[in-house]
Amino acid sequence: MILTDTHTHLYAEQFDTDRKEAIQRAMDLGISRFFIPAIDSETTESMLVLEKDFPDAIFLMMGLHPTHVKENFKEELTHVKSWLDKRKFYAVGEIGMDLYWDKSFVQQQQDAFKLQIEWAKQKKLPIVIHCREAFDEVFEVLNDCKDENLFGIFHCFTGNLEQAKTAISYNMKLGIGGVVTFKNGKIDKFLNEIPLKNIVLETDSPYLAPTPFRGKRNESSYLLNIANKVSEIYNVPLDEIAKITTKNSMDVFGI
C-alpha cells in the first residue's frame, strides 16, 4: 500500500527535534510520497535540505503563501520566479487568498495569485491553492484564469458541496485532510457525493492534526487516520483509497 501526503510542511521548526524520525514513522505505514509547499523565501533553504536528505520521497513546490503577501511581496515574487526558472518543481504552491487573518492586502493577494497562476500555466505545472474565508475571491480569480492549462489541488478543502463542485469545475482535486475527522468538520457529511477520482489526501502537518490528535502537532504518519476516515465515508477498502488517491496525486504532479 502506497499513500501520498500531498501537502506537508516537514521543514517546519516543529520538526527540528525529530524530523527524520517523523518521516520514518510515516514511511513505516506506507506513506512514502511527500509533497512540500513553499511559504516564502525564508523556507527555501530548509526545503532544499529536506529534499537532499530524502531525494526519493520529497517533492518540492515553489510559491508565495497569501498570508506572506506583505509590503515586500514583489521581492518575494521575484524570488519565486527565479527559482521556478532555475530548477524542477512539481507545483506552484501554496498560493491563493486568505482573508481570515488580515484583509489589508486583498488586492496584492489577488495580484500575486493571478501572476503565480500564469507562471504555472506557462510551465505546465499544477497550482496548489490555499483558501481561507475567501471562496468567492478565489473562484473569481480562477474564473479569470480558466483554460486547458489550469489544474491543481484545492488544498485543505473545507467548503460545502456546492463549493466543492465549483472547485472541481476548475480542474482542481480536493485536498482532504484532518478536518474530515472533526465532529464539526461538516465535509464528511457530503464527501461521498464527490467521486473519488476528484480527491487527494494530505495532512498539512504540523497543522490541523486529525482526531484523536486534534490540537497537537500533526505529522505525516497521521495521514493513515485521514485515509481510514475516507475509507469509512466511501465504504471502500483502505487499500483502494490509497491506490486511487495516490494515482490522483500522480495525475496532478506528474510523478
Q: Interhelix angle for 135-145 vs 106-122, to 10°?
A: 40
Read off the amino acid at residue 10. Answer: L
Q: How far apart are CA 45 and CA 139, in angstroms?
A: 32
Read off the amino acid at residue 34. Answer: F
pTM for the structure as a whole: 0.97
Tally of CB atoms within 10 A around 56: 7
User: What residue has cell string 484545492?
Assistant: 154
Q: How far apart are CA 204 and CA 201, in angstroms?
A: 10
Helix then strand then coil, % of the chain, to nearest 5 = 50, 15, 35
Number of structural domains found in the chain: 1
CATH for 151: 3.20.20.140
* Residue 104 pLDDT: 86
Nearest alpha-carbon partner for 162 in 132, 133, 180, 139: 139
Q: How far apart are CA 36 and CA 58, in angstroms?
A: 7
Q: How far apart are CA 169 and CA 48, in angstroms?
A: 34
The x, y and z cell numbers of residue 228, run together, are: 481510514
Read off the amino acid at residue 39. Answer: I
Query: Residue 45 sits in which domain range?
Result: 3-253
**Mean pLDDT, each 10-residue run in order, the chain (255 residues):** 98 97 98 98 97 98 96 96 98 96 90 98 98 96 97 97 98 98 94 98 98 97 98 98 98 98
Beta strands in the chain (DSSP E): 3-5, 31-36, 58-60, 92-98, 127-132, 152-154, 172-176, 199-201
Instruction: Give me the residues paired with residue 173 across strands.
Output: 153
User: 101 with 69: CB under 8 angstroms?
Assistant: no
